[in-house]
Structure 1
């Protein structure tokens, strides 16, 4: 009898460097969107998990990549479900204001990678994938929406000698 393995899931990290402290009135529109956007993500088809600070509803208090850098780390069933949430939901409204709230990105700010079902990526793992993308460009190990790779490609890449989560 063959046992089916659960389908790999897609992890994503995006980072943003704040223009102002979170309690600054100029960031109020962003802060006001956090709870509704996070609730929408939690209820979105394909959503699996997102990083939150202990005892909080989001991860904005965590600053593992710098005092002025906020991180968003989540897991989704597929690239399509993440895309639908990011670009076909209320999340898009939050993205429209990003230039008012965050510094312009000079390097990649979003990285995607495949993980085994049930694995919860750490911030250190996510930061390593972002560094990989920034250093080597898109690959099956670390990619973007504009340069996607399948879970099958990631698994084949991992079998080729690199250690990866799939």
Structure 2
């Protein structure tokens, strides 16, 4: 490998976000959210740094029930970096939906969003993601699971800090 070739990425960022719907997706309360979901997902799929997202045969994860409460929607994805995820979350159409989330979702009382570093190429399971949420709920931000408020560097960045 010459110095001009990119260094292979050793770690990627996984994230889980769960939300408690105010009503079933077919309810008029959820209509604006449901009608914008395909567009928001398409933007994610085309965003720089996007790697993978959980989806069913319909192209989204709204039919996947990963938690006991049927009203909980799950979003699980992988990104090349914290910066790429943050740009998508706050500076795309997703950000517009994010600021209006109270229209469609109840305030969740426990951890509902977590990020963690995974080896490049690993696809996280819903069980793994649920464990990260539980860990965050019990212990707060750490290198095991964290939030945008207190992000942790990838293991490689921790080992080789930028100078």
Query: Take 1:154 and 1:123, find their aligned partners in 2: how far apart are those partners?
Result: 26
CA contact (8 A) 2:14 2:76 kept: yes
TM-score, normalised relative to structure 1: 0.88
Structure 2 residue 81 is the aligned partner of structure 1 residue 60: no
CA RMSD of aligned residues (A): 1.8
- Deviations, residues 66-95 of structure 1 (Å, cap 9, x unaligned): 211000000000000000000011111111
Query: Take 1:6 and 1:81, find their aligned partners in 2: how far apart are those partners?
Result: 14
CA contact (8 A) 1:16 1:109 kept: yes
CA contact (8 A) 2:117 2:155 kept: no
CA contact (8 A) 2:17 2:113 kept: yes
Assess, with a 3 A threshold, how the Cα gap between structure 1 residues 155 and 61 changes in structure 2: closer, same or farther. Answer: farther
CA contact (8 A) 2:15 2:76 kept: yes
Which residues in structure 2 correspond to 1:64-143 (within 5 Å)? 64-65=66-67, 66-143=69-146
Cα deviation, residue 108, structure 1: 1.7
Which residues in structure 2 correspond to 1:30-41 (within 5 Å)? 30-41=33-44
Q: Secondary structure at the match of 2:18?
A: strand
Give unmatched runs, 5+ long, in structure 2.
2-6
Q: Secondary structure at the match of 2:74?
A: strand
Query: Take 2:157 and 2:49, find their aligned partners in 1: how far apart are those partners?
Result: 20
Cα deviation, residue 107, structure 1: 1.6
Q: Secondary structure at the match of 2:17?
A: strand
TM-score, normalised relative to structure 2: 0.89
CA contact (8 A) 2:19 2:105 kept: yes
CA contact (8 A) 1:63 1:70 kept: yes
Query: Take 2:54 and 2:30, find their aligned partners in 1: how far apart are those partners?
Result: 21
